[in-house]
Structure 1
Amino acid sequence: MTWLRDGQPRGRPQFKIVDIYRFFVSVGYAVLSKRLLHFRKIVSLADKSRKSAPPAGSVSIESLAALVRIFDWLRPFAFKKTDECFLYCWALSRFLGKYGIYPSWVFAVLEQPFAAHCWLQHESYVLTDIPFNLRRMTPILVI
């Protein structure tokens, strides 16, 4: 596994008004669905989105990194990242889906002490976490 943001520039990324719009629509949808729907329904919706998506063309890692960077830069305006891996992944997956990118959503557990966590991954690139943090996690579901 490799961290997608490794070596990426810091600071304000280049973005357009449509990126901001897509960000807030994605986060709003994720927040409302997290509050109103059961976990199983959200996972089902995410799975349907991936399965009904057109075949993925070759996604440029640079383009993907730029979109994740935009999302991460805007995220503090909507929610905190701390202890919100589920919301973070659900909102980011919705955001990327608006660009035709559907990363895998990995759910995992740690046995001792017990902990649950999730992250988004595209091929061997981790989008929402640092691979070092995931080394002891055991994946139990990949969408």
Structure 2
Amino acid sequence: MTRLGLHHDLSFCRADGRLIFLDIRNDRYFRLADDLQTAFLEHMDGRQAPDGQLRRLVQQNILVEGPDRPGHPTEVSVTRPTRSAIEGPGAESGQRRSTSDPVAVLDTFAAVCSTQLQLRTRPLQGILARLVSLRIRRAAHAITSDADASRALDAAATFRAARPFVPVQTCCLVDSIAMVRFLAKRGIHADLVFGVAGQPFAAHCWVQHRDIVLNDSVGHVSAHTPIRVV
């Protein structure tokens, strides 16, 4: 049986009463017109949406046909952050990092510069797919023990300490993808979280392990609603 479901390159969240979509294939965020948003929500809730609006959603590649596709996609779910590696007790590990480690500086330089180049020349979809592939090969399992969480904190602190030596302007997307790559190469699993705010619109991303934000403050990331987790 063929059903309509959300295109796999799209994700969405509710922010300030409106739906916001992230399209990783076309590198864009967007909202729907009021009538299409209503039809989208009706369809996802299993109600009968007007055929005309459904056709428009299909034409815009928001809804796609597929065998036994679930009618209602799960909105993004990620552990609510309660700690930050750069503030409070979690910041202590950062004080132990040395910027004299040439390997860490070189690895950070390579991760940041290659990520910046990829974002300039490739679609986000492909970059994220490669990131997932790297993490599967090098850090297949999420960290669960306190000892491994400490490793994640130390490795993230190493990246942050080396980052000022890279002559590339800081950017949440570049730095977060680069940090996930840096951690994965050390066998450490971390999530890349995309978030948005509704009014005014703002997009952000950060690196998170369980309830710990590794490269931002809890207050800042909590002002954004997660829209995609990689």
Q: Deviations over 1:57-82 (max 9, x none)?
A: 6462222222111211111221233x
Cα distance change, pair 109–18 in 1 and its aligned pair in 2 (3 A): same
- Secondary structure at the aligned position of 1:40 is classed as helix
Match of residue 24 from structure 1? 109
Aligned pairs for 1:120-131 (under 5 A) are: 120-131=207-218
C-alpha displacement at 1:27, in angstroms?
Answer: 1.7
Runs of 4+ in 1 over 4 A off after TM superposition: 56-59
- Secondary structure at the aligned position of 1:120 is classed as strand
Match of residue 107 from structure 1? 194
Please say if residues 194 and 203 of structure 2, whose CA atoms lie closer than 8 Å, have aligned partners that are also in contact. yes
Which protein shows a greater Rg? 2
Q: Deviations over 1:97-142 (max 9, x none)?
A: 1101121111111001000111111111111110111223111110
Please say if residues 176 and 205 of structure 2, whose CA atoms lie closer than 8 Å, have aligned partners that are also in contact. yes
**TM-score (norm: length of structure 1):** 0.84
- Secondary structure at the aligned position of 2:140 is classed as coil
Match of residue 151 from structure 2? 63
Aligned pairs for 1:1-143 (under 5 A) are: 1=81, 2-5=83-86, 6-7=88-89, 8-9=91-92, 13-14=97-98, 16-52=101-137, 53-56=139-142, 58=145, 60-78=148-166, 79-81=168-170, 84-143=171-230
Q: CA RMSD in A?
A: 2.1
Cα distance change, pair 11–126 in 1 and its aligned pair in 2 (3 A): closer
Unaligned runs of 5+ in 2: 1-80
- Secondary structure at the aligned position of 2:193 is classed as strand
Q: What percent of counterpart residues are identical?
A: 30
Q: Which protein is richer in strand relative to its size?
A: 2
Cα distance change, pair 12–76 in 1 and its aligned pair in 2 (3 A): farther
In structure 2, what is the Cα distance between the partners aligned to 1:115 and 1:54? 31
- Secondary structure at the aligned position of 1:42 is classed as helix
Unaligned runs of 5+ in 1: none
Cα distance change, pair 51–113 in 1 and its aligned pair in 2 (3 A): same
